[in-house]
A = this chain, B = another copy of it.
């Protein structure tokens, strides 16, 4: 997995699918290319195949069910999202938590299939326990800040710094910070505090001009990285 500088979770917003979903994905792609900075889009299962064809950005699923192929009506398996064109998936998002054994099973299968994995958690104490399972990345998001517009960078920088300390125990795993990230400064701070990149959703998906927000985020990230 490349350094995950910016992951955008489309969630189930009204512009996450259909023509609106394609439109926003293309706008983000344009900025991504302009700044030579990879942006990952985590999209609804119904949109994986379409967006994998429509844009060149890495497409992630938002969730994978821990079941093998077979009689599992309604399940979305790792095999299915790969076949549809996904490069990886979020796992254990606060809006779709799964159990530890399911996380381990899903990660094992994703590695076998060559899928990238970003496991979401809500507190620094879980960084090392999850890190031991060797996902590609861990995305830490204090749930009370998700969608709040109050960024973890400003409101709870200690969550990031403690998580950064913990992630050092499993050096191959990237740490991503998220929750409430709203502007370029939030991104700058998160990366300066030690996170590899950031995860966002509402700040982009609910923006009037999502591409401008993504541009600002990328600029903030690049500034922090150059500033190193």
Least CB distance, A63 to chain B, in whole angstroms: 3
Chain B nearest CB: distance from A11 CB in Å? 5
Q: Within A84-110, which residues are at the interface with B (CB < 8 Å)?
A: 84, 90, 92-101, 103-104
Q: Cβ of A126: which chain B residues have Cβ within 8 Å of it?
A: 100-101, 104
Interface flag for A34 (CB, 8 Å): no
* Complex interface: chain B residues within 8 A of A50 (CB): 49, 84
Which one of B77, B90, B129 contacts A100 once the chains associate, using CB atoms below 8 Å? B129
Is A132 interfacial (CB 8 A cutoff)? yes
Within 8 A of B (CB), among A25-82: 42, 44-50, 62-63, 67, 69-77, 79-81
- Does A201 lie at the interface of the complex (its beta carbon under 8 Å from any beta carbon of B)? yes
Contact B12 A73 (CB under 8 A): yes
